[in-house]
Amino acid sequence: MRIYVTSVFVADQARALDFYTRVLGFRVKHDVPAGEYRWLTVVSPQDPDGTELLLEPGAHPAVGPYRAALAADGIPATSFMVDDLDAEYERLRALGVAFTLKPKGAGPVRMAVLDDTCGNLIQLVQMQAAPAPAAAG
């Protein structure tokens, strides 16, 4: 069994497509009409055959309260890994992205949280270099 897709609810798929591709830098993998919506997924150019992110319509009545409660506590809907958090932070800020949490250390990772303009907070994570193993004997 493999995880091939994960999803975020978005208020507007067209707007989400713009943010997740032009701003974040992902690429469209599937864009298939599905009734009044689309089956719309993006992938990382660093891993085009990897797990897809589904930009899922947020029309279900449960989505509003769910997202409002997460946002109230500052909890991200999902998390993406980056190689250089400070560089991504500067790049995205230059593109007008709002961050609710600037880059900061949190144990084994550094992280930041941004607003995807589609109703979600998104966490960016950079793994810290593993500490050098203790010298033997």
Binding interface with another protein (CB under 8 A)? 68, 71-76, 100-101, 104-107, 111, 113, 115, 121
Which of residues 18 and 115 has its CB atom nearest to another protein in the complex? 115
Least distance between another protein and beta carbon 72 (Å):
5
Pairwise CA distance, residues 30 & 133, whole Å: 43
Nearest-angstrom CA–CA distance, 100 and 121 = 8
Rounded least distance, CB 57 to another protein, Å = 20
Among the listed residues 8, 48, 9, the one whose alpha carbon sits nearest the alpha carbon of residue 28: 48
Distance CA 37, CA 89 (A): 32
Q: How far is the CB of 30 from another protein (least distance, A)?
A: 30
Q: Which is nearer to another protein, 21 or 100 (CB)?
A: 100
The bridge status of strand 5-10 relative to strand 37-43 is unpaired
Which residue lies nearer to another protein by CB, 39 or 99? Answer: 99
